[in-house]
Every structure is written in C-alpha cells, then in structure tokens.
Amino acid sequence: MGSMNSSLEVEQASELEIITLANNNGMTVEIINYGARVKSIKFPVHNKPTEMILGYDSATDYITDDFYLGATCGRVCNRIAGGNFEIAGREYQLPLNDGDNCLHGGIDNFSKRYWAVDKATQSNSSVTLSLISPNGDQGFPGTLNLSVTYQLSEDNKLSIEYLANTDSATPINLTNHAYFNLGEQDCQSLYLQMMSSAVLETDSANIPTGNIIPVEQTDYNFREPACVGKRQGNTQDKSLKEKQGYDHCFVLDNAPFAEPKAVLTSLKNQISLSVYTDQATIQLYTGFYLSGEFGSYQGLCLEAQNYTDADNNKHFPSNILQPNQKYQRKIIYQFESIT
Ligand code: BGC
C-alpha cells in the first residue's frame, strides 16, 4: 500500500460499480460499469450455482484486462484494415492496436471506459449503462450517444440491447465478448451448432479478403452440432491450423429472431446456451490468445456482430449510422438444463 500504483488503483476503483441481476430460478448475473462488462453468469448445475463464463475475482482486475473479458466492444468491434476507412470521400485514420490494424475500436476503446449506470431504471432484473463517445474519439467522426441494457428474465435469458445515435455519419458495430465454458475447465469438449452457411475468408492478420466461403465440406460447418476441441485439433484447414483454432466470422443464415443462431452445449454439466440475435454474423473465437491466469481455450466467444471490416468491403452490409437513424441491436443468451 502507499505506492503510486496502489493509490491509482484505489482512485480508479472508486468509480467501479457492480450490479447484480437475479431471477427466482437460481440464475445471477453480475455487470460492471467498467467496459459495460458481464463479469459473471451463474446458472445452477445439479442445483449448485456454477460459473458459466470467464472472469476475474475482483472487479478492479478488469482495469488491466487485455482479453476483453465480458466486454462491450466498440465503436467498431473486430478489425478495421489499416485502421482506416472513408465516409463520403473523407478518409479517417484510427489508432493501430493490432499490428497494422485497429481492433475493437482502438487503444482507448469502449471496454476501457466507465459507463454511467441509469439509477432511475435499475432493478433486480435490469440495468442500463450509457456512454457518450465524443466527436473524434479514437479518430471516429460524430458524437455517439449509446446505451446497453442488460435484462435477466425468469426463463433464464440474459438479453443485451444496444441503442445508439450520432450527430454525424459514423461506423458502429457493437458486440459482447463473454468467454463461455458452461462450467467446464475449458471449451474443448463443448459442442457447438451454428446456423451459418458461409464464413469470411481472412488473411494471416485476420483481415477479410472479401471472399465469402460456403462452409459445406469444411471444418467451418457447424450446421450439425460438433465438438469444438476435436474439430480444431484434427483440422487440416490452413487458416485453422495457422491460428490454432477458430477466430472467424460466420455469416448467419437469414432466419427469424426467435430461432437460435448458435447453440453451445456441455454434455458434462447438461447445460445448453442458445444465442439469439438480429446481428448478421457471429465471430467464433476459441480463446487461444488467453494467457497469464487463464489458459488457451479456457472459454470461447460467440460475438454477435456485423461483418468484419465492413468499412473497407462495400459488398458487406454497411456499419454506417447516419444522424437520422437509430442503431438498435439485440443479443440474447439463454441457459437451459438439458436433463
Ligand atoms: C478477436 C481475436 C482477438 C480477441 C481479443 C476477438 O474478438 O477475434 O482475434 O485476439 O478478440 O481478446
């Protein structure tokens, strides 16, 4: 105590808030305002509350997190090639924080901000956090007003709703970066099913080439449930071998919101997680960059979002939000016992 570092931590920690949501079926969710993150999701396994995602014990540990644990990523999650893009003939340059590219919104991205907690609407089942991202923030144009609402239902759905508006055209692509292991030691024995018929081809820096590849006859075909660890361990696919796992953007089939877009299952704990979303893709990332107190593959992310680098691929659905438009996206994580 007393060193500059610890006094800095205390100062920053004083702004930290933990919000707990709970339902009457034994599910609890902890949200922290630093990065509008999901810190914990506990769901009963054989009547014992069990952690479903990766997290740090202490909320202050998130301040030094490099892995985007449970985070709200933005303004533009995933990669923007060269950190640059053009809107209406004007070029914008963002800071580069992933080799030559910009990842998850830049160096000081939304996962590193203290979001405001809306006390007026807060309850045991719901909380809204908001943030104002000023014009020029991380190089992005326009003042962006945004909020994320977390709501826990009695039928064990954690719903995440993003809302935003801007006063000048800007790209926006928000996602949640929770790492799931459904109470297992890692994600290797989980089964995954995804309603995706195509994946974005990427180069070794994870930047889309622009090609959209059908998943048929490939190790990207999760249309029937497949064991994640077996798939990535036995693969002959060049990109999967090079990366040592999945870090790919799966284009979701056009299906009604009410149909799950991905289902992750733990046979051991007899639990399934269904992901519902109106986003166009899911980035499946199997956590092979995790290190330090976490091991590779200790959890996997199912990041519902728009196509990677839509800002430099005009044939992908656009990320651009205009001043007269409202950005509104939804992700639901539903947990179920499958006994
Ligand atoms: C990306 C990974 C990246 C990770 C950072 C994921 O969304 O796809 O490439 O390393 O975020 O934790």
Q: Ligand 1 within 6 A of 285 CB? A: yes
Q: In this predicted model, what pLDDT tens digit does every residue of 86-95 receive, in sequence order? A: 999 999 999 9
Mean pLDDT value of segment 317-330: 98
The whole-number average pLDDT for the span 77-104 is: 97
Chain centroid offset of residue 134 CA: 22
Instruction: Indicate whether 7 pLDDT > 50.
Output: no
How confident is the model at residue 281, as a pLDDT? 98
**Choice from 101, 103, 173, 246 to test ligand 1 binding pocket (greatest atom count within 8 A of CB):** 103
Dist. CA 303 → ligand 1 center (Å):
10
Cα dist from 41 to 26, 138, 166, 329, whole Å: 11, 31, 32, 21
Q: Which atom of ligand 1 is nearest to the CA of 289?
A: 10
* Residue 289 in contact with ligand 1 by CB distance below 6 A: yes
pLDDT digits (tens, 9 = 90+) for 198-242: 999 999 999 999 999 999 999 999 999 999 999 999 999 999 999
Does 137 score more than 60 pLDDT? yes
CA of 67 to the centre of ligand 1 (A): 7
The catalytic residue positions are: 177, 303
34 close to ligand 1 (CB < 6 Angstrom)? no
pLDDT over 70 percentage in the chain: 96
pLDDT at 3: 38
> Using CA atoms, how far apart are residues 318 and 214, in angstroms rounded to an integer?
21
Over residues 83-103, the mean pLDDT reads 97
Q: Is 288 in the pocket of ligand 1 (CB under 6 A)?
A: no
Residue with tokens 């990766």: 54
| Vertex 126 angle, CA 171 and 143, to 5° | 25
Q: Taking Cα atoms as reference points, which of 278, 269, 261 lies closest to residue 197?
A: 261
What does residue 230 show for φ and ψ, rounded to 5 degrees? Answer: -65, -45
> Cα(123) to centroid of ligand 1, in Å?
32
Whole-number pLDDT of residue 4: 39
Average confidence score pLDDT of the chain: 95
Predicted local confidence at residue 339, as pLDDT: 76
Rounded distance from Cα 237 to ligand 1 centre (Å): 20
Mean pLDDT for the stretch of residues 118-124: 96
Look at residues 148, 201, 165, 156 and name the one whose alpha carbon lies nearest to residue 50. 156
Judge if the beta carbon of residue 303 lies within 6 A of ligand 1.
Answer: yes
Q: Is the CB of 283 under 6 A from ligand 1?
A: yes
Q: Ligand 1: distance of its center to the CA of 292 in Å?
A: 16
247 C-beta closer than 6 A to ligand 1: yes
* The model's pTM: 0.95
Minimal-distance CA residue to ligand 1 atom 7: 78
Tokens 């109106």: give the residue: 278
Predicted pLDDT of residue 14: 62
- pLDDT tops 60 at residue 11: no
State if residue 311 touches ligand 1 by the CB under 6 angstroms criterion: no
Q: Distance from the CA of 202 to the center of ligand 1, in angstroms?
A: 14
Q: Concatenate the DSSP letters of all residues of 6-53 into one string.
A: HHHHHHHHTT--EEEEE-TTS-EEEEETBTTEEEEEEEEETTEEEE-B
Give the model confidence (pLDDT) of 248-290 as tens digits: 999 999 999 999 999 999 999 999 999 999 999 999 999 999 9
Q: Is the pLDDT of residue 22 over 60?
A: yes
Which helix (DSSP H) or strand (DSSP E) does residue 239 occupy?
A: helix 238-243
Q: What's the rounded Cα separation, in Å, for the pair 278 and 293?
A: 34
Cα atoms in the 13 Å half-sphere on the side-chain side of 307: 25
Residue among 240, 246, 247 to mutate when testing ligand 1 (max atoms within 8 A of CB): 247
Exposed/middle/buried for residue 178 (C-beta within 10 Å: 0-12, 13-18, 19+)? buried
> Considering the chain, what percentage of its residues have pLDDT values greater than 90?
95
- Token digits for 41? 């999701």
Residues 6+ apart with CB under 8 A from 305: 77, 78, 173, 174, 175, 249, 279, 280, 281, 282, 283
